[in-house]
């Protein structure tokens, strides 16, 4: 057992048969970049990771693969021929390292003629911990067998064919025998790692629409990986210590939550208002990063009510911004990376972990941002400038830097509230990481990612068009696809 890795993390992504990938294994480190020519499968690799992450969060299979353009049919390997029953599908998997040691998860998905999970295998500690197989195609269930190591070597039961069986184990396994405890530990490790992911693709055009006064629209198709309904999650059985997967959440469910950054980052002004108010030190880090990446002076980032801007006086705008939005340079040196927000674990009478983000849900949710908030860049002697007037590369840098500097409490995702934040590691997935950026901006962003990854709370998996932006940076792994 490997006890060096306290935080569950995905260390390997397997694309056994997925789109244009066959038998591909990608090692995943703290900062991993995928490069290659157009069509080499960079984005496809991130899509496979996202499917696994969504399934680990408890999302139904149809919604998990629905984020891929073309749906499940587009995931079938090129040139794959149907079998005698006309079935075709894809296979993906991953390795998750953590306190339980390396745990392997492999998945076989039938995409045609009917979408369903037809096989799942979880292994770790030298044991096969879970296997599922489709026995009767007429039933929407698979036959599952999980390791027991008691008087009965395995336990058999049906599981739904549209859910990841591993995410359901904490609700099925009692944890009374050593074998059951091994199964729970492995399942918990995999679920925590898969849920702790955030897919981010800032869209400058959407960010500008919000800046001009349009209300941010929830992008259901790109809702952050890891979103779920903590209140809807069931508790594990007595004696179990696993993580129960929740239902997939939408940005619009239960009303808008403008204090949590969405995948496309169109609600950036409201999030800046929150972060500048809650942690000046980390906000100062963000200002310093933007200063290094943007053309012209950057003395601060502010989020102010639109009526203050309508007044027209620059001094009034600065007064409305207040100290909370200022980029205090003196605070940069002592700032510590971490996350805004977050919950605490709570245990029930039987020792089971209660799947609630915090004892006081009202306190854990951010206060709603003031209506009509607009983000501004303080240009010093040049005055205030609306953020939406930044270039595309500058806007993407600002949004991605904010994601790297923050944590699950400020992102549109449901962190694993029943596990202490110190035992979790956020993985940021960014397709086209250097898109729209010049070499200097992309280099600054990569340097920031390296610094945050060194602190152990954030990992980055992204695709780049120019791998030279990471040249010479310590701890960055560049994987060239299609070579």
DSSP string for 95-133 = EEESTT--EEEEEEEEEESS-EEEEEEEEETTEEEEEEE
Q: Averaged over 136-141, what is the pLDDT?
A: 94
Among 35-49, 51-65, 143-157, 405-419, whose mean pLDDT is lowest?
Answer: 405-419
Measured torsion, CA atoms of residues 177, 181, 183, 187, in degrees rounded to the nearest 10: 150
What tokens appear for 406 in the block?
Answer: 């923050």
What pLDDT was estimated at residue 372? 78
Beta strands in 39-115 (DSSP E): 88-97, 103-112
Strand duo 458-463 + 31-35: pairing: parallel
pLDDT for residue 415 is more than 70: no
Structure tokens at 76: 């079938």
Determine which of 25-39, 97-111, 152-166, 356-370 has the lowest per-residue pLDDT on average: 356-370
Nearest alpha-carbon partner for 226 in 15, 387, 429, 2: 429
Percent of the chain with pLDDT over 70: 75
Mean pLDDT score, 105-122: 97
Predicted local confidence at residue 311, as pLDDT: 53
What residues contact 39, with CB distance under 8 A and at least 6 apart?
Answer: 20, 482
> Is the predicted pLDDT of residue 90 greater than 90, yes or no?
yes
* Residues ≥6 apart with Cβ < 8 Å to 449: 31, 404, 458, 460
Tell me if 49 sits within 8 A of 10, measured CB to CB. Answer: yes
Rounded Cα gap, residues 132 and 119, in angstroms: 5
Residue with tokens 């056994």: 16
Degrees, nearest 5: CA angle 199-362-267 = 35
Report pLDDT for 293: 94
In a 3-state reduction of DSSP, which class is residue 317?
A: helix
Look at residue 362 in the predicted model and tell me its pLDDT. 40
More confident residue, 66 or 316: 66
Q: Torsion angle of alpha carbons 219, 105, 351, 247, nearest 10°?
A: 20
DSSP string, 209-220: HHHTTPPPPP-G
- pLDDT value for 312: 53
pLDDT of residue 317: 55
Q: What is the DSSP letter of 228?
A: -
- Please determine, for residue 223, whether its predicted confidence score (pLDDT) is greater than 60: no
Starting at the edge strand found earlier in the chain, the sheet holding 384-386 runs 300-305, 373-378, 384-386
Task: Give residue 49's pLDDT band: very low, low, confident or very high (50, 70, 90).
Answer: very high
CA distance between the termini of the chain: 35
pTM, two decimals, is 0.82
Task: Band the pLDDT of 261: cuts 50, 70, 90.
Answer: very high
- Would you call 80 helix, strand, or coil by DSSP? coil
Peptide bond into 104 cis (omega under 30): no
pLDDT digits (tens, 9 = 90+) for 452-478: 999 988 999 999 999 999 999 999 999
Strand 141-147 relative to strand 426-430, pairing = unpaired
- Inter-residue contact 156 to 145 (CB < 8 Å): yes
The angle formed by the CA atoms of residues 355, 361 and 362, to the nearest 5 degrees, is: 175
Confidence of residue 368 (pLDDT cuts 50, 70, 90): very low
* 310-327 per-position pLDDT tens digit: 555 455 555 555 544 444
Question: Are 211 and 156 spatial neighbours (Cβ–Cβ below 8 Å)?
Answer: no
pLDDT in tens, 200-221: 999 999 999 887 766 655 544 4
Whole-angstrom distance, CA of residue 51 vs CA of residue 32: 18
pLDDT at 436: 97
Under the banding of pLDDT at 50, 70 and 90, the label for residue 232 is very low
Instruction: Quote the pLDDT of residue 320.
Output: 54
Mean per-residue pLDDT of the chain: 82
């Amino acid at each position: 057992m490997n006890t060096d890795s306290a935080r569950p993390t995905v260390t390997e992504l397997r694309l056994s048969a997925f789109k244009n990938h066959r038998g591909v294994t990608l090692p995943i480190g703290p900062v991993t970049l995928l490069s290659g020519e157009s069509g080499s499968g960079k984005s496809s690799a991130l899509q496979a990771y996202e499917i696994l992450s969504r399934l680990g969060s408890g999302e139904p299979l149809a919604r998990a693969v629905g984020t891929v353009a073309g749906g499940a049919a587009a995931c079938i390997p090129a040139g794959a021929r149907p079998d005698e029953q006309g079935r075709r599908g894809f296979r993906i998997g991953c390795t998750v390292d953590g306190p339980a040691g390396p745990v392997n998860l492999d998945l076989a998905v039938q995409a045609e003629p009917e979408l369903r999970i037809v096989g799942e295998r979880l292994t770790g500690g030298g044991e096969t911990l879970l296997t599922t197989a489709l026995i009767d195609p007429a039933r929407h269930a698979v036959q599952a067998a999980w390791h027991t190591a008691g008087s009965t070597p395995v336990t058999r039961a049906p599981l739904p064919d549209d859910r990841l069986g591993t995410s359901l184990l904490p609700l099925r396994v009692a944890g009374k025998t050593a074998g059951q405890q091994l199964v729970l530990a492995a399942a918990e490790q995999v679920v925590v790692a898969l849920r702790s992911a955030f897919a981010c693709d800032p869209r400058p055009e959407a960010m500008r629409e919000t800046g001009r006064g349009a209300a941010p629209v929830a992008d259901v198709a790109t809702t952050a990986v890891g979103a779920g309904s903590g209140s809807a999650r069931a508790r594990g059985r007595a004696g179990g210590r696993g993580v129960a997967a929740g239902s997939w959440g939408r940005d619009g469910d239960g009303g808008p939550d403008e204090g949590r950054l969405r995948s496309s980052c169109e609600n950036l002004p409201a999030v800046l208002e929150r972060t500048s108010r809650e942690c000046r030190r980390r906000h100062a880090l963000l200002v310093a990063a933007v200063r290094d990446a943007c053309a012209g002076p950057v003395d601060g980032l502010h989020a102010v009510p639109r009526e203050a801007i309508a007044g027209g006086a620059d001094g009034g705008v600065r007064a409305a911004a207040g100290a909370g939005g200022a980029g205090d340079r003196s605070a940069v040196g002592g700032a510590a990376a971490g996350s805004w927000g977050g919950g605490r674990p709570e245990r029930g009478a039987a020792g089971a972990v209660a799947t609630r983000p915090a004892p006081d849900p009202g306190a854990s949710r951010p206060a709603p941002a003031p209506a009509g908030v607009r983000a501004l860049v303080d240009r010093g002697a040049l005055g205030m400038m609306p953020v939406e007037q930044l270039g595309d590369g500058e806007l993407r840098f600002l949004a991605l830097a904010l994601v790297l500097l923050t944590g699950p409490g400020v992102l549109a995702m449901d962190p694993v509230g029943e596990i202490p934040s110190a035992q979790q590691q956020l993985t940021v997935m960014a397709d086209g990481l250097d898109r729209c950026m010049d070499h200097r901006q992309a280099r600054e962003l990569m340097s920031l990612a390296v610094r945050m990854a060194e602190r152990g709370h954030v990992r980055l998996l992204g695709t780049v068009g120019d791998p030279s932006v990471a040249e010479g940076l310590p701890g960055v792994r560049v994987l060239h696809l299609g070579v």
